[in-house]
Structure 1
Amino acid sequence: MSKTSIASQWWRYPLWTMAVLGSSKSFRTNPVIGSPGLNERGLHRARVKLAADMAARRRKWLAPSVRDDERQAFDRDGYVIRENALPREVFERLVETLHSTPLPAREMRQGQAVTRMIPLGPNVLSTIPDLKAFTAPQTFAPLIRYVAGLPGEPVYFIQTVIAEPALKKADPQTSLHADTFHSTAKAWLFLQDVGPDDGPFVFVPGSHRLTPERLEWEHRQSLAAHHDDRQHHASGSFRISPEELQALGDFTPQKVTVPANTIVVADTYAFHSRATSPKHTVRAELHAYHRGNPFSPLPFSLSSLPGFGERRLDMFLAYEDWLAKRRHKRPVWQDVGESTAFDEAHI
């Protein structure tokens, strides 16, 4: 954002300042968060440290709802793998149904990859009741909450990643990065076997912990992120090079290859990416994410209110459509009509 643009929007400063107290992360669009002067004085460092402290406190409240072995795996590595996640008969029936049932879908293209999203709102859940085995409050939600360090209900949808390497265009998700400056959780229940050439999830075990080296690295990034050429980096999803990663400690990225019916739940403050696929790939999964105000001291969330949590994604997409129309732009998540989870890309 240019100085002229900032000066003409002086009236936004109260909102930009208040955003510091929440999950806002963009160094480019928020001149308070992106201020080199304030970050030199420790603004970003303080936000990162306080967010980590609050997440640790909330996890103490959430720990009794999580299996000991999974809690220990997360505390050590930053992610949890659970095989045979759903009962076999439910999983097989669900995969068969998702192959043949078109559902309202959105798609987004990033370079050679297209991501499809089918929100799991009340209508879809009533159409395919077996999906409730994934979204039921006591199935995976307690683990997702613990990994995120947040109370409340996750957002659920069917996700399909279509890799089209023949296009020779860069996919920003294949660069190692952290999603934001605080703990968030993402979960993938894979509907197919995922091998090393299928564009698997790549994760850096142990990089979810806020070490002095990581905090100093965060501080250095904050000083120049507002004018970084990398769009995602400037927006607060910091990218990291292999050389920078090694300077932070003994870290090795690992491809997470798993059999079908495995759920992976990861803290995406840790460094991660999507592996490049050398072949055309259509990979489908049941997906969830959980994020919120990283500074909240409360053991509850409005997302737990009946009738609200399962509609949040549909409400968000409707708002994004309205905003894009108002700005005469195309929405990031384009409505492609109905699609099965396993169809080829529509955009």
Structure 2
Amino acid sequence: MTWLRRLKTALQTPIWTLQLASGTKSFIDNPIIGSRRLNALGLHQSRVRIAERMCRWRRKRLAAKVPHEWRDAFERDGFVVIENAVPSEDFEGLRDAILSQEWPAREMRQGDAITRRIAIDGEMLAEIPELKRFLGRSDINALFHYVASYRTTPLHYVQTIVSSCGGEAPDPQETLHADTFHASMKSWLFLKPVTEADGPFTYVPGSHRFSEARLKWEYERSLVDPRSIDRLSARGSPRVDENALIAMDLGAAEKISVPANTLVVADTSGFHARGSAQCKGERVELWSYARRNPFLPWLGGDLLSLPGIAERRVGWLWSLRDRLERQMGQPWQSVGRRRAIDD
């Protein structure tokens, strides 16, 4: 079997090498990225530093179209909170149409939480004109582009988080973590109020900046054997504790409790978490996500963002993973047509 392993390594090495110029982040799945010897020489830290410089260059070119108060809040904190994001005359219709109807849904369990997602596709956009107007707004999209550092159309979902639903293990999303080593945009338009008891989005202000202290921390974590730490950290979404935050000159995480019709947009390369719910309940939101190769110099060029394609991507992705479940895994299981607020 030794020669088979050697052959497999020889065939995969060119792929692992090419992945260095992409957003690939797993220390355990790519032995070059996870190489302690190469990381001691600065491989991981260099990838982080180059990605951060490219991000700042792209954001500089995208900044002009973002309202200055949103841009200033983002640069300070790493997230933006926009209350009454949808005009009041549209919000009630948008919320009621989404919550009252059944749509094809998928679910995933992590610890004691269930996440349900419903794709915002062409059918939903045609059915709910208020939703189409909101997602088509130039100011909102300018903010999405700025935080993502690319002109790319995010993947959009209706997302429901059902907390404290009886799992044996804790929800891993409740531990402060970074999604990856480079800019990654996520947003939440909350359809219902979110109190501290509901497990609000939590973020460490300023942790989106790759300071010298953050770069030192990135270097030190790159030297740890990925087989000796938790699976999510080993795969490139590092967990962080209070001592590490102090070492990076960062303060405590902020719990972002908000009224309904509040949009939160964040760079999730900063440290964030899902707040711990104090009782069983559900959080319902429009959830959007955008992440591209951090080393590209151009702002656009994303063919998957073209109209007619962008709204079909989620369905294509789910179908692909269904077909290649054995090779890729498929954590999102179909649960048929469901309402966002079904138990």
Q: TM-score range by the shorter chain?
A: over 0.9
Residue correspondences, number: 341
Is contact 2:65-2:139 (8 Å) kept? no
1:322 counterpart = 2:323: yes
Output the CA distance in 1 between the equivalents of 2:57 and 2:20: 20
**What SS does structure 2 have at the residue aligned with 1:20?**
helix
* 1:62 matches 2:41: no
Question: Residue type of the partner of 1:307?
Answer: G
Q: Offset at 1:3?
A: 12
Q: Secondary structure at the match of 1:181?
A: coil
SS at match of 2:99: helix
Q: Post-superposition shift, 1:304?
A: 3.0
By how many angstroms is 1:55 displaced? 0.5
Is 2:278 aligned against 1:309? no
| More displaced stretch, 141-150 vs 52-61 | 141-150
The alpha carbon displacement at 1:168 in A equals 4.5
When residues 67 and 312 of structure 1 are mapped into structure 2, their CA distance, relative to the original with a 3 A threshold, is same
- In 1: Cα distance, 2:215 partner to 2:320 partner: 35
- Within a 5 Å distance, the mapping from 1:12-161 to structure 2 comes to 12-136=12-136, 138-161=138-161
Residues 67 and 162 of structure 1: CA distance in aligned 2, closer, same or farther (over 3 Å): same
**Does the CA-based 8 Å contact 2:202-2:253 persist in structure 1?**
yes
Partners of 2:6 and 2:101 lie apart in 1 by 49
Residues 133 and 139 in structure 1, CA contact (< 8 A), matched pair in contact too: no
2:223 alignment counterpart: 223
Distance 1:146 1:225 in 2: 35
Where 2:265 maps in the other structure, the secondary structure is strand
What CA distance in whole angstroms lies between the structure 2 residues aligned with 1:311 and 1:179? 24
Q: Check whether the contact 1:198–1:277 (CA below 8 A) recurs between aligned residues.
A: yes
Structure 1 residues 139 and 333: CA distance shift in structure 2, 3 A: farther
Partner AA of 1:335 in structure 2: S
Per-residue deviation, 1:89: 2.2
The verdict on how the C-alpha distance between 1:38 and 1:137 changes in structure 2, with shifts beyond 3 A counting, is: farther
Q: 1:196: how far off?
A: 0.5
CA pair 198-40 structure 1, distance change in 2 beyond 3 A = same
Return the letter of the residue paired with 2:83.
E
* In 1: Cα distance, 2:340 partner to 2:203 partner: 25
| CA deviation profile, 1:297-325 (whole Å, cap 9, x unmatched) | 0121313323222222221111111110x
Q: Residues 187 and 225 (structure 1 numbering): CA distance in 2 closer, same or farther, change over 3 Å? A: farther
Change (3 A) 1:22 1:82: same
Code of the residue aligned with 1:259 in structure 2: it is P
CA contact (8 A) 2:186 2:268 kept: yes
Asked whether the equivalents of residues 113 and 167 of structure 2 are also in contact (C-alpha less than 8 Å), the reply is no
Distance 2:34 2:5 in 1: 14
Tell me the SS of whatever aligns to 1:224: coil
Q: Write the distance in 2 (CA, Å) between the matches of 1:180 and 1:215.
A: 13
With the length of structure 2 as denominator, give the TM-score of the two structures. 0.95
Deviation at 1:5, TM superposition (A): 5.1
Length-normalised TM-score, structure 1: 0.94
The answer on whether the counterparts of 1:156 and 1:286 sit within 8 Å (CA) in structure 2 is yes
Secondary structure of the residue aligned to 1:342 is: coil
- CA offsets, 1:153-208, max 9 Å, x none? 11111111000254452111000000000011100000011100101001000111
Q: CA deviation at 1:270?
A: 0.6
Aligned match of 1:342: 341
1:124 is displaced (CA, Å) by 2.1
Give the conservation status (yes or no) of the 8 Å contact 1:98–1:342: no
Q: Which amino acid aligns with 2:158?
A: I
Q: Look up the SS of the partner of 1:23 in the other structure.
A: coil
Q: Please, which runs of 5 or more residues in structure 1 have no aligned partner? A: none
Residue aligning to 1:285: 285
Distance 1:58 1:3 in 2: 46
Q: 1:26 to 1:7 in 2, by over 3 A?
A: farther
- Kindly provide the CA deviation profile for residues 210-263 of structure 1, in whole angstroms up to 9, marking residues without a partner as x: 111100100111112522331100000011111111111041111001100000
Question: Deviations along 1:42-73, whole A, 9 cap, x unmatched?
Answer: 11101100110001000011101100011011
Percent sequence identity over matched residues?
Answer: 42
Shift of 1:132: 0.8
In the superposition, relative to structure 1, how do residues 6 and 339 fare at CA in structure 2: closer, same or farther (>3 Å)? farther
Is the 1:6–1:31 Cα contact (8 Å) retained in structure 2? no
Deviating beyond 3 angstroms after TM superposition, the runs of 4 or more aligned structure 1 residues are 2-9, 165-168
Q: Does the C-alpha gap of structure 1 residues 318 and 12 become closer, same or farther in structure 2, counting only changes over 3 Å?
A: same
SS in 1 for 2:157: strand
Equivalent position amino acid for 2:318 in 1? L
SS in 2 for 1:60: helix
2:321 alignment partner AA: E
- Between 1:116-125 and 1:53-62, the stretch displaced more is 116-125
Q: Distance in 2 between matches of 1:80 and 1:6?
A: 49
